[in-house]
Structure 1
Amino acid sequence: MLLLALDTATPAVTVALHDGSSVVAASSQVDARRHGELLLPAVDRVLAEAGVRLDAVTGIVVGVGPGPYTGLRVGLMTADTFGLALGVPVHGLCTLDGLAYAAEGASLDGPFVVATDARRKEVYWARYEDARTRVTEPAVDRPADIAEQVAGLPAVGAGAVLYPDTFPDARSPENVSAAALAALAAEKLGAGEELQAPRPLYLRRPDAQVPKNYKVVTPK
């Protein structure tokens, strides 16, 4: 097994390679505006560090969000392209699940929340029983609107850091890592679990919209 994992659902552009036992190489950069520019060089860097060629990869793992439309589709389209070119399966994982998995050992001995920045003064979030068990579906809400649902729970992710009134007990990690996604995927696949399809989890419509009453101009 040699899994190439990547995620662009958050400001972090993150890539990792996992051999079924451990992460052999990883790269993460935080830049919300350069997903398309940074992703492929990061893949090249990770493969070079591991000393393998892309055609040695046996599977692709991609974070499916939730996340903003523009950034999220960069990772998903790249994953699909790699899968088609290499003839290997492409597996999807919820980005929030990757953050939860990475939080294992961060002094979390009970339920907690994962919250990422959804912009528009909102967060993408879900509750977890432990690092491997999500107990609510991912959602997007204003922090004040979910204060009662998350009261008393520690939280991880950039959304928790941004809104301390709702998440006063923010913990690390702040950003998702492909290393955690790869390790979680390897664990699940090794146990015979089937991962989800690599389809985007947007939770809301994209910011860019075709204007209403758009006038179509046809040639005379």
Structure 2
Amino acid sequence: MPQLSYQKRFSSLRGAPKFKAVLLGEVGVGKSSLFLRIKDDVFNEKLQPTVGIESCFKSLYVDRAEVSFQIWDTSGVEKFHSLTRSYYRNTQVVLLVYSVHDSASLQRLTKWIQDIEHHSPNAMRFLIGNKCDQEKSISDQSAHNFAATNECADVFLTSAKTGEGIDQALVKITEKLLNSYQRPFMMESPFAYNITSTYEDSISLAKDKYNNGKKDRACCF
């Protein structure tokens, strides 16, 4: 039996499927620049590090089906680390960002992965190698091994400066999320600090239920 298109599969939902995604990683890897490129399709050389939390909405069309993301940019500064933990709630997508020319930034993602396992164990993880417009000091194989060890569903190389790889990564991420669809449900998600976000017809993902219990660990370079 041929697989239904995403448009037909989600036609019963009242609106576009919605996912909450968070950007995580150390200071200097370009999370805020990625966020700005996704939000406004611009690059600011003098962009200052995020203090606390910023968010935006991004709509994508895959196979004529609309999907909406609420993307959160979290500060990598350690003194704000405890602040961002409350924002893991109801997260379906985690974008782990490192800089391809800073080998330490990849290994330091392990502390964020510990937070994910504690606060959002069912979220799908994706590894993002940013600043691919610069000379790499991290091999593709090293990134692939890190992704496999830490249960990342895919690996992407991007440049917030040039925009390279970002749209392609978002489309691939969307396809993997829709293919891992379990069931729609209604969810309202009040967050701290006077920020309230409502997710209608969101997607619930259950860990170890992708591909009949096996995650797709194929990587894209």
Please give the TM-score of this superposition, normalised by the length of structure 1.
0.36
Q: Which has the larger radius of gyration?
A: 1
Please give the TM-score of this superposition, normalised by the length of structure 2.
0.36
